[in-house]
Amino acid sequence: MHVTELVITVILFALVTGVGFWAARWRRPPHLHSLDEWSLAGRTFGPWIGWFMLGGDLYTAYTFVAVPALLYGTGALGFYAIPYTAIEYPLVFLILIRLWSVCRTHGYVTPADYVRGRFGSPTLALAIALTGVVATMPYIALNLIGIQATLQVIGLNGHWPLIAAFIVLAAFTYRSGLRAPALIAFVKDVLVYLMIIVAIAYIPAHVGGWGHIFTVFNAHFTSVKPHTGLLLTSSNQAQYATLAFGSAAAIFLYPHAVTGVLSTRSRDVVKRSIAWLPVYSIVLGLIALLGAVALAAGIKPLASGGTANTNTIIPGLFESVFPHWFAGIAFATIIIGALVPSAVMSIAAANLFTRNIYKEYLRPHASDREQAEVSKVTSLVVKAGAVLFILGLQPQFSINLQLIGGVIILQTLPAVFVGLYTRWPHRAGLLAGWAAGLATGVAMLYVTGNPAAKQAHWGGSAFALSHLGFHTAVSMYTGFIAVVVNLLVTAIVTVAAKALRVPDGVDETAAADYYTDEADLPTQETEVIAA
């Protein structure tokens, strides 16, 4: 047990808990009894808060521990998160302002709300909502893995610290809604930047310099894993590029990312936040390199449940090189880093249930207040579910599900992103494309094994094209192939449905709705009070 680290972690955690509860009074709303107030903080965030909020939301604790762990475990291929997070913002820069405008005009809270309004199909909206929930749940669970890996290094091995942390998180999210993670994001990000600047300034020199680090890194992969290494090989370059691109296209389809975007005040705020968000990717690049540093420093992963948990290498590296008090700050940072996205994800998943299942099918006339109450309670259920995931199942199962999550959330791209630009697809086409994309995606993941981990199925997101009968060693990102299938089926079924005159849904949005801005909206009561 590392007492100093534990004490510092507990103090910082207590500070953040206070911030989380106090957040209910921040930018004081007249009340929190509507989804707009509880789950979108009144849609009033400006560029600074928007930037911190989205950064805190998208760069999770899992990112901080898993990205370097990936470099440590797989070499060059594990660096894909860097091009991925450089592509994602420029890619969605123009798309998200249209999504923001149409959602603001019609009061949509979830991506599925938008799909329902655009394509006039509650069934399609249900499909989009369920996909979002299924993709989000294991994501929350993975954040717990980030916390667990840190607690393991501190020396706390039981389940109770994890459960206690999540009960606290659930309580302040219930009370303060999106305001809690938004305010905590400031604390989190200051700590993250502090931790990384110190880590990068201090550790590499301590370990023998970058030249030495990469010599060890290269030697390790040449001797241990000849198929991967310091650079990409001829067979995994296509996989690397499609994985980076596919992940970049997928991230803003996740409900929690949409929640972050919709909490902002204007199109300008969306653009400015998105334009500056790659600053976080600079930090992520530095964090990723720590994976190579850990290898050179001889950090070995701790075992959990009989298997080596590579996610412990970053906490392990900090423990071995930092003084105790600073290791404590770093550990607290990782744990707090898990709280922000977990809170937003649980809010987003709860909203999907409330808007696209409860209100759609159970209580069509539910008031704003009732919807907010349902979402608040559902957010507790979602978090409890994520904890049960971790306690009841092998961590590997959550990782597999997360892998599937990335592939399936990408299958909502035709309805959500393509739908923002054209109303051409027929609702039947989108539904068929979604189903085809899901089926092929999951089937491809199933047949992919991982010989190194002795897994026959769910072994990774690199689909070997040899499965299709091609004589090649080339692999591609499963999600990318699945979304291509999805788009093709959507197009074919759309043509067929239109030829057969199958009735299409009614589009409740107008062309001008996609350009609505702050100035077009009536001044809100909340803004007056916030000022």
Partner 1 sequence: MSADLSPPVPRRSDHSPWNYLLLIPVVLPLLTFLYNSATPRLFGIPFFYWFQMLLAPIAVLASVSTFYLARRGTRRPGSAGREG
Q: Kindly state whether residue 94 participates in binding partner 1, applying the rule CB under 8 A.
A: yes
Q: Measured from the CB atom, is 90 or 107 closer to partner 1?
A: 90
Question: Of the ranges 239-247, 340-348, 459-467, 496-504, which one interacts with partner 1 (CB under 8 A)?
Answer: 239-247
Q: Measured from the CB atom, is 172 or 240 closer to partner 1?
A: 240
Tokens of 119: 């394509």
Residue 291 beta carbon to partner 1: minimum distance, rounded to whole angstroms: 11
Q: Kindly state whether residue 212 participates in binding partner 1, applying the rule CB under 8 A.
A: yes
Question: Of the ranges 90-98, 179-187, 386-394, 455-463, which one interacts with partner 1 (CB under 8 A)?
Answer: 90-98
Q: Kindly state whether residue 231 participates in binding partner 1, applying the rule CB under 8 A.
A: yes
Element (DSSP H or E) covering residue 475: strand 475-477
Distance CA 511, CA 513 (A): 6
Distance CA 63, CA 160 (A): 24
Out of 62, 89, 114, 166, point to the residue binding partner 1 (CB under 8 A): 89
CB atoms closer than 10 angstroms to residue 306? 6
Tokens of 285: 């690049």
Q: Kindly state whether residue 529 participates in binding partner 1, applying the rule CB under 8 A.
A: no
Q: Which residues, numbered 242-261, are part of the site for partner 1 (CB under 8 A)?
A: 244-245
Q: Measured from the CB atom, is 368 or 527 closer to partner 1?
A: 527
Question: Of the ranges 309-317, 432-440, 495-503, 509-517, which one interacts with partner 1 (CB under 8 A)?
Answer: 509-517
Residue 510 beta carbon to partner 1: minimum distance, rounded to whole angstroms: 12
- CA diameter of the chain: 71
Q: Kindly state whether residue 26 participates in binding partner 1, applying the rule CB under 8 A.
A: no
Distance CA 17, CA 168 (A): 7
Out of 454, 519, 522, 528, point to the residue binding partner 1 (CB under 8 A): 519
- Site residue total, partner 1 (CB under 8 A): 51
Which residues lie below 8 Å from residue 155, measured CB to CB, with a gap of 6+? 1, 2, 6
Binding track over 46-75 against partner 1, x by CB under 8 A: xxx---------------------------
Out of 272, 324, 423, 498, point to the residue binding partner 1 (CB under 8 A): 272
DSSP codes of every residue in 290-307: HHHHHHHTT--PEEETTE
Would you give the DSSP letter of residue 454?
A: T
Name residue 424's amino acid.
W
Q: Are strands 302-304 and 307-309 parallel, antiparallel or unpaired?
A: antiparallel
Q: Which residues, numbered 319-378, are part of the site for partner 1 (CB under 8 A)?
A: none
Q: Measured from the CB atom, is 4 or 237 closer to partner 1?
A: 237
Out of 51, 72, 79, 480, point to the residue binding partner 1 (CB under 8 A): 79
Q: Kindly state whether residue 297 participates in binding partner 1, applying the rule CB under 8 A.
A: no
Tokens of 411: 């299958």
Q: Measured from the CB atom, is 87 or 374 closer to partner 1?
A: 87
CB 253 within 8 A of CB 409: yes
Q: Kindly state whether residue 21 participates in binding partner 1, applying the rule CB under 8 A.
A: no
CB 82 within 8 A of CB 281: yes
Q: Kindly state whether residue 205 participates in binding partner 1, applying the rule CB under 8 A.
A: no
Q: Kindly state whether residue 380 participates in binding partner 1, applying the rule CB under 8 A.
A: no
Q: Which residues, numbered 109-168, are part of the site for partner 1 (CB under 8 A)?
A: none
Q: Kindly state whether residue 90 participates in binding partner 1, applying the rule CB under 8 A.
A: yes
Buried b (16+ CB within 10 A) or exposed e, 156-193: beeeebbeebbebbbebbbbbbbbbbbbbbbbbbebbe
Q: Measured from the CB atom, is 85 or 475 closer to partner 1?
A: 85
Q: Kindly state whether residue 93 participates in binding partner 1, applying the rule CB under 8 A.
A: yes
Q: Measured from the CB atom, is 148 or 264 closer to partner 1?
A: 264
Q: Three-state secondary structure along 387-450?
A: HHHHHHCCHHHHHHHHHHHHHHHHHHHHHHHHHHHCCCCCHHHHHHHHHHHHHHHHHHHHHCCE
Distance CA 425, CA 490 (A): 7
Name residue 367's amino acid.
S
Residues in contact with partner 1 by CB under 8 A are 46-48, 76, 79, 82-83, 85-87, 89-91, 93-94, 97-98, 209-214, 230-232, 237, 240-241, 244-245, 266, 268, 271-272, 274-276, 278-279, 281-282, 284-286, 289, 512, 515, 517-519
